Amino acid sequence: MKQKIDLISILAMTVLLSTASFAQKNLNREILPIVEPEAQTYSELDVRNTKPPVPFKVTAPKEAPNVVIILIDDLGIGATNTFGGPIKTPTMDKLASNGLRYNNMHTTALCSPTRMALKTGRNHHTCNTGSIMETATAYPGNTGALSPSVAPLAEMLRLNGYSTAAFGKWHETAAWETSVSGPFDRWPTHQGFDKFYGFIGGETDQWAPLIYDGTKKINPPKMENYHFTTDMTNQAINWVKAQQSMTPDKPFFVYFSTGAVHAPHHVSKEWSDKYKGQFDKGWDAIREETVKKM
């Protein structure tokens, strides 16, 4: 279905407005899917006296960046060391020291609405996600059913020449649409993602997760000391390697959303021992220290 992209979505895609060729420059990227040019007609009867037209193909603009969104569930802005908190995040520290620290933050204070707003660039009520999927109602703005008139960012990028993949937690499909009967319209692979590897609901056992590859339920791979975070990371790395080896000129969009941090709190003793006793002073004291550092 062709969709008129709203202003916020267009601004989010300004990187795609430059083009790689004359043909690409004349594409109207405000209507998706992009409309093919009118087919060339021929009056010559002998095909040997003609030249075939250049095949129509939508590609991302030259030097279009790869995009990776890492979503860590239920982690407050003041939790990590990067923003004054007690949790050590050396990789995030390194990224922040070489880039920007965004601190003008807005949250819907709930899982599904925040994800849907991030995923579309739209207000969560416009996305019919006034609450988490399990508490949707029949009232407008809270039905749990994303309207076809609201285009996900992944779909906009896919239709503009990107490879797209989502790994980890989804929680953007109403519970009554998660069976084998579907409908699958609001599953990741029908919301702009070529690849999905993860779980559909709000939480899952990190040692024995309920995993889907696309819309097919699969068993976790057999591996020593299995944890879903490690599994989904391996899956993401392998997908990027394969995508880049086959189409190195094609940019990718990866949505990487861990199930860890959120309940159930399944973490190895090796990791939990690193913080043994560090929170004994209590929430109020740690909050005061964090705010001062922030």
Which amino acid type is present at position 102? Y
Average predicted confidence (pLDDT) for the chain? 89
Q: What mean pLDDT do residues 214-228 have? A: 95
Query: Average pLDDT for residues 198-205, to the nearest whole number?
Result: 96
**Amino acid 1: pLDDT:** 43
Query: Has residue 141 got a pLDDT over 90?
Result: yes
Res. 15: pLDDT tops 50: no
Please check the confidence at residue 115 and state whether its pLDDT lies above 60.
yes
Q: What percent of the chain has pLDDT over 70?
A: 91
In this prediction, residue 18 carries a pLDDT of: 37
Q: What is the pLDDT of residue 25?
A: 64
Q: Which of 112, 91, 29, 37 is nearest to 64 (CA)?
A: 29
205 pLDDT more than 80: yes
pLDDT, average across residues 255-272:
92
What pLDDT digit, counting tens, does each position of 77-107 carry? 889 999 999 999 999 999 999 988 887 777 7
* Alpha-carbon gap, residue 166 to 171, rounded angstroms: 12
User: What's residue 76's pLDDT?
Assistant: 82
| Per-residue model confidence as pLDDT tens digits over 50-74 | 999 988 889 998 889 999 999 988 8
- Taking residue 156's Cβ as centre, other Cβ atoms within 10 Å add up to 24
Instruction: Kindly tell me if the per-residue pLDDT of 7 is higher than 50.
Output: no
Rounded CA-CA distance 209/49 in Å is 61
Question: Residue 24's pLDDT is what?
Answer: 62
Per-residue pLDDT, averaged over 27-51, amounts to 90
> Is the pLDDT confidence value at 3 over 70?
no
For 140-203, strand residue ranges (E) read 163-169, 195-199
Given 3.40.720.10, 3.40.50.800, 3.30.1950.10, 4.10.640.10, which CATH number is that of 67-293?
A: 3.40.720.10
Mean pLDDT of 123-145: 95
Per-residue pLDDT at 244 exceeds 60: yes
Asked whether 29 and 16 are in contact (CB, 8 A), the reply is yes
Q: What confidence score (pLDDT) does residue 8 get? A: 39
Q: Looking at the predicted structure, is the pLDDT value of residue 252 above 90?
A: yes
Distances (CA, A) of 237 to 144, 167, 232: 31, 10, 9
The confidence score (pLDDT) of residue 136 equals 93
- Taking residues 42-48, report their average pLDDT: 94
Residue 6 pLDDT grade (very low, low, confident, very high; cuts 50, 70, 90): very low
